[in-house]
Structure 1
Amino acid sequence: MSSIIVLLIVLIGGVATAFQAGVNGLLGKKIGIIEGSFVSFLTGTIVLLILLLITTRGNLSPLLQALHVPKWQLTGGILGVIYVLIMIFAVPKIGTATTFVAIIATQMLMSTVIDHYGLFGKTIPINSYKVIGLILLAGALFFIYKSSQVQG
């Protein structure tokens, strides 16, 4: 698959997560943060089960391989819960843009550290371009947060 197609798929994911944050934020405001997170994950689990049944033609035996992976590799769901809880909590309070810039800035900082130390594969050292990019992201967070404070 070409890198352009992969990039387009990732951009669609960005659109989806922006909408997800808003939808989940409103849901959480109506029924509660933890309850909204539960409903979000339940809905997603049902959709994933349907996709799994369709794509595997009902053969769920590959799921048993999860019993044999290192246990830390099963923490993705826990990290997803943290992410969704935080988004449902934060979006109604500080807005979608501020929440996402904060998430993105932190993701970039942590992913730069992860790449630098090669924690999940390829080692990609920190360089001056990345440091400048992180500083610009911090600036973006500052200005978008300040802008929302002026409006709110």
Structure 2
Amino acid sequence: MLKLLSIPAVLAALSGAAMALQGTLNSQLSQKSSLLSSTLIVHILGSIIALGAVVIWKVPLSSHKWNQIPWYLYLGGVLSVAIIALVAVSISKIGVCNATTAIILGQVGMAVLIDHFGLFGVQKISWNPWQLLGLLLFAGGAKLLFR
């Protein structure tokens, strides 16, 4: 129970809340403009904020050995564009609750696989029968949330 109330868990929950809000805002923005143009604008604004943070906190970008980092670790940028677009579309079609429920189910399912196989260099944490039962119960709960 302590892990659930730990600072990292609370921060993760806040991140989830921000993601639901972000998806809603992006969906509304894309309906008032277009999916691709709103995705571009959102990423430009995010890049400006990130650049501002790098400048304010004086993060030394040149001290990193960017060319020695595995290429696939840069795919987060590609996935970010896909996620913004897919979330905006799904929320506009099935609503915030249904889309967020499906998103979380997809996240947890992928997280179990990443942990179990230790993908992308993360610590390998094998699943156990309780986690699989939890995932099944979570999927059942998700089904109850779908309207």
TM-score when normalising by structure 2: 0.88
- Post-superposition shift, 1:24? 0.5
SS in 1 for 2:125: coil
Query: Do the aligned residues in 2 keep the contact of 1:116 with 1:124 (CA within 8 Å)?
Result: yes
- Residue correspondence of structure 1 range 14-53 to structure 2 within 5 A: 14-53=16-55
- Structure 1: how far apart are the matches of 2:141 and 2:80? 25
- Post-superposition shift, 1:82? 1.2
- Post-superposition shift, 1:104? 0.9
Deviations 1:125-152 (A, max 9, x none): 121111111112221222222x2xxxxx
SS in 2 for 1:9: helix
Mark the runs of 5 or more structure 2 residues left unpaired by the alignment.
none
- Residue correspondence of structure 1 range 62-77 to structure 2 within 5 A: 62=63, 65-77=65-77
- Post-superposition shift, 1:11? 2.2
Task: Give 4+ residue runs of structure 1 displaced > 4 Å after superposition.
Answer: none
Q: How many residues align?
A: 142
- Structure 1: how far apart are the matches of 2:78 and 2:31? 22
Deviations 1:4-61 (A, max 9, x none): 222232222122111101100100111111111111111111100100100116x442
- Structure 1: how far apart are the matches of 2:82 and 2:88? 10
- Structure 2: how far apart are the matches of 1:35 and 1:137? 35
Mark the runs of 5 or more structure 1 residues left unpaired by the alignment.
148-152
- Residue correspondence of structure 1 range 3-152 to structure 2 within 5 A: 4-56=6-58, 59-62=60-63, 65-119=65-119, 120-145=121-146, 147=147
Letter matched to residue 114 of structure 2: I
- Structure 2: how far apart are the matches of 1:38 and 1:20? 15
SS in 1 for 2:78: helix
Deviations 1:87-130 (A, max 9, x none): 11111111111111111111111111111111132221121111
Query: Do the aligned residues in 2 keep the contact of 1:36 with 1:88 (CA within 8 Å)?
Result: no
